[in-house]
Chain A
């Protein structure tokens, strides 16, 4: 199985900050990497697919980059509504696996 390691597991930031979350795959996954945002009590929401493509309707302050084994989710100009846990997910092969999550606190 491909293991996905996210860091940090949690972070505290201020409104307007730039936040960077990293995700590392245990083997190369090309760009088969998605990012989700999960707010408490809500349905997880797709932010980015194929490593860097912003899902329709997602604010442009979110961006993704990377390929191979190392990926990054960046949030610029952090907003109060960005309080959530963020997960990366690889879709390179079965089983699909998620990172452990990064909780963003403001």
Chain B
């Protein structure tokens, strides 16, 4: 059974860089047609898509966050990562990683399954 587990610091100081890792077990992250993504949910707010690494190669970012985030994939360790630079209180959120199934040749895709999430607080 596929499982995803987010890891990283629970507290980050303003202006620093947040680094998160999603470790995948039960499947290889190098096989298509699966892609991999990050989503977050700030306290009291809804879900916000951050980034997706598509199995065909490109990585897509939410334009509102593109200057601040970088997603990378390490197939040898079967995990993928997210870096958020120059964090502020607005980056306080539960961060989720998820597998994204993409129907080849279409725009159809969905996140399933998701990790449990990791709460990250930005505070001095």
A60 at the interface (CB under 8 A from B): no
User: In the complex the two chains form, is A49's CB within 8 Å of B108's CB?
Assistant: yes
Complex Cα gap A32–B102 (Å): 12
Given A95-B62, A96-B49, A98-B47: A43 and B110 interface contact (C-beta under 8 Å): no
Complex Cα gap A94–B107 (Å): 10
Task: Provide the B45-74 mask, 1 if CB < 8 A to any CB of A, else 0.
Answer: 011110010000000101110000000000
Residues of the B chain whose Cβ atoms lie less than 8 Å from the Cβ of A101? 46-47
User: In the complex the two chains form, is A46's CB within 8 Å of B111's CB?
Assistant: yes
Complex Cα gap A69–B55 (Å): 29
Residues of the A chain whose Cβ atoms lie less than 8 Å from the Cβ of B108? 32, 49-50, 91
A99 at the interface (CB under 8 A from B): yes
Count chain B CB atoms within 10 A of each CB in A36, A42, A43, A99 and give the residue with the most. Answer: A43
Interface band, chain B: 20 to 34
How many Cβ-Cβ contacts under 8 Å join chain A to chain B?
A: 63
Residues of the A chain whose Cβ atoms lie less than 8 Å from the Cβ of B63? 1, 94-95
Residues of the A chain whose Cβ atoms lie less than 8 Å from the Cβ of B112? 45-46, 55
A89 at the interface (CB under 8 A from B): yes
Residues of the A chain whose Cβ atoms lie less than 8 Å from the Cβ of B52? 96
Shortest C-beta distance, B83 to chain A (Å), equals 19
Residues of the B chain whose Cβ atoms lie less than 8 Å from the Cβ of A97? 49
B113 at the interface (CB under 8 A from A): yes
Task: Provide the A7-39 mask, 1 if CB < 8 A to any CB of B, else 0.
Answer: 000000000000000000000000010101010
A100 at the interface (CB under 8 A from B): yes
Shortest C-beta distance, A55 to chain B (Å), equals 7
User: In the complex the two chains form, is B117's CB within 8 Å of A46's CB?
Assistant: no
User: In the complex the two chains form, is A42's CB within 8 Å of B46's CB?
Assistant: no
Residues of the A chain whose Cβ atoms lie less than 8 Å from the Cβ of B123? none
Question: What is the interface of chain A, defined by CB distance below 8 A to chain B?
Answer: 1, 32, 34, 36, 38, 41-46, 49-50, 55, 87, 89, 91-101
Question: What is the interface of chain B, defined by CB distance below 8 A to chain A?
Answer: 46-49, 52, 60, 62-64, 96, 98, 107-117
